[in-house]
């Protein structure tokens, strides 16, 4: 009887072992990496690091933070003590950090440093998670993408709003054709009086701009991503600095210093896509309005429309009647049991981990983020020149930096000249 029991147990052990082998065959990454931790270094230990990435990395539990870098050494030391491994090293020069044995580098710096740090990390063989926007300028962002392609390293940008439940639902609805052809959209990033007064937010040199590049970038990213349209034809922009000199501000984070406020307080863009679709982009830190929306989009299609104004709403005509659908996006639960829903920050880290360690697909691709930066730069350029910025495929054939935008009065001449040079001939 004892022998029979032993044999039975042996059989169960063998069956379990065989099952594990079969499972590993279907999902080899489980066998190889499910227990392995991603070794990462952090460049930039300020607000965005401590407010978003570091807490999410800690909750994930599959990361080892072994190197920290910040121009202010004390900030790097503090981040190491709270989030790093016992033997984690601290630097003030990112060029030294990227020499470490790392799987990835997080670039959480002011916008002006996104490109040089990301490029250095990828050239050193590291994958990169870079905060939004991709870079301060289109040329810098293009250099980042070129480096990613050259080195074969992963590059993604911190557009975490894609991972929200309403964003995911709307994306699926668009992919399924529920809205039909989306031909008009609005990208919303409006604050009434909520100017960030800390760090370098008000520094044009370090950031490249104000609310447009800071929060407008999220709204534009959501809009382009849900529409799945990344082919801009032209951009017309207006940029304002109308409230920055006020002293009685009513600001959410206390009065700003007008002397330090060197960026715009609001900006607006009119974007025409190559397929005729039109996008209105609105961004402000300070604007006398009651319409306050941030990181939201509104879409108008041939079958239905959608917006994020009061939760996600989808409007359509059904059975001859106008109706509005409001999906329940809360994690479902029953009495005494709450449903579990991941925070967007947590999903972002999980997706990045899976991409680096298991070859999983990125949600935010650098090619997409590049277009966002391209459009933002065009809004600023249009506002500066008073002219519409036109894009054309010929600029992609030209050496980077020679032509990144074309003014309206120059467009026909340049296009004709380029056609001649290419041997295409002039009409």
Distance between start and end Cα atoms, the chain: 95
Whether 405 shows a pLDDT value over 50: the answer reads: no
Alpha helices by DSSP H, 124-243 = 138-151, 165-175, 204-207, 211, 217-227
The confidence band for 22, taking pLDDT boundaries of 50, 70 and 90, is very low
Q: How far apart are CA 206 and CA 211, in angstroms?
A: 14
pLDDT of residue 341: 74
- Of residues 400 and 122, the one with the higher pLDDT is 122
- State the pTM of this model: 0.84
Q: How far apart are CA 229 and CA 242, in angstroms?
A: 33
pLDDT of residue 334: 59
Whether 31 shows a pLDDT value over 60: the answer reads: no
pLDDT tens for each residue of 288-303: 999 999 999 999 999 9
Q: Which of 29-38, 83-92, 233-242, 402-411 has the lowest mean pLDDT?
A: 402-411
Backbone angles phi, psi at 348, to 5 degrees: -55, -45
- Of residues 341 and 295, the one with the higher pLDDT is 295
pLDDT of residue 413: 47
Whether 414 shows a pLDDT value over 90: the answer reads: no
pLDDT of residue 339: 58
Whether 190 shows a pLDDT value over 70: the answer reads: yes
pLDDT of residue 331: 66
The confidence band for 12, taking pLDDT boundaries of 50, 70 and 90, is very low
The mean of the pLDDT values for the chain is 87
Percent pLDDT > 70 in the chain is 81
Mean per-residue pLDDT, 115-142: 98
pLDDT of residue 336: 56
In a 13 Å sphere around the CA of 93, the CA atoms on its Cβ side amount to: 3
Sheet holding 38-43, edge to edge: 89-91, 63-69, 38-43, 104-107, 127-130, 155-157
Mean per-residue pLDDT, 354-374: 98
Q: Which of 11-20, 49-58, 178-187, 338-347 has the lowest mean pLDDT?
A: 11-20
Mean per-residue pLDDT, 412-417: 45
CA 368 from chain centre, in angstroms, equals: 9
Mean per-residue pLDDT, 350-377: 98
pLDDT of residue 342: 85
């Amino acid at each position: 009887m004892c022998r029979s029991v032993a044999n039975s147990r042996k059989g169960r052990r063998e069956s379990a072992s065989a099952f594990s082998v079969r499972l590993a065959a279907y999902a080899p990454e489980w066998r190889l990496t499910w227990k392995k931790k991603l070794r990462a270094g952090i460049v930039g230990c300020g607000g965005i690091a401590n407010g978003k990435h570091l807490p999410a990395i800690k909750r994930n539990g599959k990361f080892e933070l072994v190197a920290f870098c910040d121009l202010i050494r004390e900030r790097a030391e503090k981040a190491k003590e709270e989030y790093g491994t016992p033997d984690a090293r601290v630097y003030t020069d990112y060029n030294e950090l990227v020499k470490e044995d790392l799987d990835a580098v997080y670039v959480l710096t002011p916008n002006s440093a996104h490109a040089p740090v990301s490029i250095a990390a990828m050239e050193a063989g590291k994958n990169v998670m870079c905060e939004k926007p991709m870079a301060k300028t289109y040329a810098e962002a293009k250099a980042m993408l070129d480096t990613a392609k050259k080195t074969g390293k992963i590059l993604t940008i911190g557009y975490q709003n894609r991972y929200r439940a309403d964003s995911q639902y709307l994306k699926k609805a668009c992919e399924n054709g529920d809205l039909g052809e989306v031909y008009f959209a609005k990208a919303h990033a409006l604050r009434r009086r909520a100017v960030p007064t800390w760090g370098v937010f008000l520094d044009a040199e370090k950031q490249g701009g104000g609310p447009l590049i800071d929060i407008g970038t999220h709204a534009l990213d959501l809009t382009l991503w849900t529409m799945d349209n990344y082919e801009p034809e032209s951009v017309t922009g207006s940029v304002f600095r109308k409230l920055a000199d006020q002293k009685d501000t009513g600001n959410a984070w206390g009065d700003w210093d007008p002397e330090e406020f060197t960026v715009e307080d609001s900006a607006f863009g009119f974007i025409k896509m190559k397929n005729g679709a039109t996008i209105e982009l609105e961004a402000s830190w300070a604007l006398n309005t009651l319409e306050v929306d941030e990181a939201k989009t509104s879409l108008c299609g041939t079958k239905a429309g959608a917006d994020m104004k009061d939760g996600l709403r989808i409007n359509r005509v059904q059975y001859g009647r106008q109706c509005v659908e409001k999906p329940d996006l809360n994690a479902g639960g029953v009495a005494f049991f709450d449903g579990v829903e991941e925070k967007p920050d947590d999903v972002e880290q999980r997706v990045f981990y899976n991409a680096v360690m298991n070859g999983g697909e990125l949600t935010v691709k650098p090619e997409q983020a590049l277009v966002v930066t391209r459009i933002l730069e065009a809004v600023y350029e249009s506002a500066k020149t008073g002219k519409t910025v036109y894009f054309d495929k010929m600029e992609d054939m030209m050496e980077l930096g020679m032509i990144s935008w074309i003014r309206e009065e120059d467009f026909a001449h340049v296009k004709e000249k380029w056609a001649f040079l290419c041997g295409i001939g002039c009409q």
